Structure 1
Amino acid sequence: MTDDLPQGPAPAPVSPAGPDEMRPPAMPRRLALDEPMFTAPGLPGTFRLQLFTADGARAVAVATQIAGEEGMGLTNGAEQYAGAVWERHCPDQEVPPVWVERQLWPEGSRQEVRFQRVVFAGADGYRPNGPRWRAITHEELQDLAGAPVATDRAGYVPRPAEPEPRLVFEEFAVARLGRPRPFREPGCMPAGVRWWRRWTRQVLPRRGARTCCWYHGGDWHTVSAMALDVLQRARAQGVEADDVEELAVAYAAAVGATGWETEALATLFNLADAIQPDSETGYINGQHRSQALLEAGVRRTVVLRHVYER
């Protein structure tokens, strides 16, 4: 949050969702707010906010966003977005609202569209921390909210048209990637990757998988080598950026890639999910994959750039 905002309550633990929390309150919640273009101070990005409240009960907030919508995505901005809703709409509650998010992916995408309940480990002021994602069905969510929950992104108003950038996939030195933030996963992202550690890994690379999460679940050396080959083929064939993912998946099948390698390769060429470095904030997308690449000592990979023609 920005420095000029009022101070929040004292740090408070936020209990994981248990039977009591998921049980509807004695007085049913009602839809108190449906804001189609919620924005948080100092944060790029918008989403549809449905807020369900009842006296004496924890509020339930449902955030819906289109994948690729302008600004920060729901996953990357979970702590900031939930904190902004907490501070603005239910500042007297000791814990943030029950936070549920829904990312709408385009038809044909490999990503699954579903509601996800975000459970925070704690909070510092109005800033929740330690998010964990759990699937929740539409029926479970409506029982919890006590009222119908819309599933679409009604009311979305795109920003005024600006000069369209040209989307370009390009080869990038991994050691030049920014320091990933925030560090949500103690086992995966304890404190970013410091400069001495990333250069050490360049000399002494590490291969293999870890069991902590999907992002560390395979060999990024192999995937990045495949990505560089796909990039070269795409350029030689004149394939546009929005068609390179399809080329990558076909390439993975041709070389006998594993399921994890195919999925990881596809993410590097997905326009809504590719690693996108940003000079001001560090990343538009791709922090956790960058963490895994840096820790493994991968030397070069593929990132997505927005190039504005002069």
Structure 2
Amino acid sequence: MTDDLPADPPPEPAPRSGGPDELRALAAPRRLSVDDHMFTAPALPGTFRLQLFTAPGTRPVAVATQIAGAEGMSLMNGVERFTGEVWERHCPDQDLPPVWVERQLEPQGALKETRFRRVVFAGADRYRPRGPRWSVITPEELQDLVGATVATDRGVGYVPRAVEPEPRLVFTECAVVRLARPRPFRESACMPAGVPWWQRWTRQVLPRRGDARSCCWYHGGDWHAVNAMALELLERASAQSVEPDNMEEFATAHAAAAAATRWETEALASLFSVANAIQPASQTGYINGQHRAQAMLEAGVQRTVVLHHVDQT
């Protein structure tokens, strides 16, 4: 009779993906098996330092370090393809992609902080991870995860890109309704691809105000208020001959004087950052900024600020 046998204990819940329990489950002593100071992938215009930590029977941990705005495609924009390339090239027998940690080195004085960030993917086909989500991982947590020393700098093997004639940067006012149709990615729950023409014109007549939501950063505040500050700031900067490279700092000071919220300050600074501004492109629609453009179109914002690169002649 099996009725007298003790019941099997209930299965323990799986560690929450990306949480501290999962990090502890993944932690193990590893060794640095790859330290490529100029890792790049075919057809991807971006470089970074790759530190890959491995040990038998453990999942590899990849730490990618890049200088923001100086190495082509950013770690964030290329994370799926960069991770897939490292997976295929250095650990092709693994069923899952390497644990991915990235560090974007921001310029001194930038509003954004330089931090390690763990990327957790929603799923992966062979060498094709998808659905990335970012969270901060502390140096102590990373040390425990890897079980070895992780370099925090770009490394002596970094080779700066060849100096090319730099285009002239120009911030200009732009009608939001005339921006290309956004095709945002990674925020499918709250940003289905694109905004049809009828909806963008409807929102111009019936704008949404005060519609902050918690679904993502892009919907987290009032773009009407931010762009009102941006247009005023653009006019003041022109009168004071502020250089484009100094506009982000100028915007941050303006936001502080206006007692703006933290979100409004970040949003305003993003519009005047030469690395993160909305940049239309004739061929692809956007070099940067399509998530912000989508959020503005949904809210019915009429005018914003964009960045153009004008070739020197």
The two structures have a TM-score, normalised by structure 2, of 0.87
Matched, 1:289 2:292: yes
Tell me whether 174-183 or 265-274 shows the greater mean CA deviation: 174-183
**Pairing 1:172–2:174 present:** yes
Distance in 1 between the 2:31 and 2:294 partners?
Answer: 41
Aligned residues, how many?
Answer: 295
The aligned residue for residue 58 of structure 1 is 59
1:179 and 1:144 map into 2 onto residues whose CA distance is 42
Aligned counterpart, 2:248? 245
Residue 96 of structure 2 is aligned to residue 95 of structure 1? yes
Which structure has the bigger radius of gyration?
A: 2
> Any conservation in 1 of the 2:169–2:310 contact (CA below 8 Å)?
yes
Residue of structure 2 in register with 1:78 after alignment: 79
Residue aligned with 2:245, SS: helix
Which residue of the partner structure matches residue 200 of structure 1? 202
Q: CA deviation at 1:21?
A: 5.5
Tell me which of 305, 309, 313 is aligned to 1:306.
Answer: 309
* Partner secondary structure for residue 36 of structure 1: strand
> How much does 1:201 deviate?
2.1
CA offsets per residue over residues 87-119 of structure 1, 9 Å max, x none? Answer: 222122111110101111111111111100001
Bigger drift between 259-268 and 161-170 goes to 259-268
**Match of residue 104 from structure 1:** 105
Contact 2:48 2:71 in 1 (8 A): no
Match 1:234 to one of 233, 237, 252: 237
The percent of aligned pairs where both chains have the same amino acid is 72
Q: How does 1:1-310 map to 2 (within 5 A)?
A: 16-17=17-18, 19=21, 22-24=24-26, 28-154=29-155, 155-208=157-210, 209-310=212-313
Distance 1:52 1:182, change over 3 A: farther
Gaps of 5+ in 2: 1-15
Residue 167 of structure 1 and its aligned partner are, at CA, apart by: 1.4
Aligned residue identity for 1:263: E
Change in CA separation of 1:20 and 1:218 when aligned onto 2, cut-off 3 Å = closer
From the superposition, tell whether residues 297 and 94 of structure 1 become closer, same or farther in structure 2 (CA, over 3 Å): same
Question: Normalising by the residue count of structure 1, what TM-score does the alignment of the two structures yield?
Answer: 0.88
**1:268–1:275 CA contact under 8 A, matched in 2:** yes
In structure 1, C-alpha distance between the alignment counterparts of 2:172 and 2:93, rounded to whole Å: 48
- Per-residue CA deviations over 1:28-63 (Å, capped at 9, x if unaligned) read 321111111111222221111111112222111111
What CA RMSD, in Å, does the superposition of the two structures yield over aligned residues?
A: 2.0
Superposition deviation, residue 20 in structure 1: 5.1
Asked if the contact 1:32/1:52 (under 8 Å) is kept, the reply is yes
The 3 A distance-change label for structure 1 pair 62 and 249 is same
1:153 and 1:40 map into 2 onto residues whose CA distance is 18
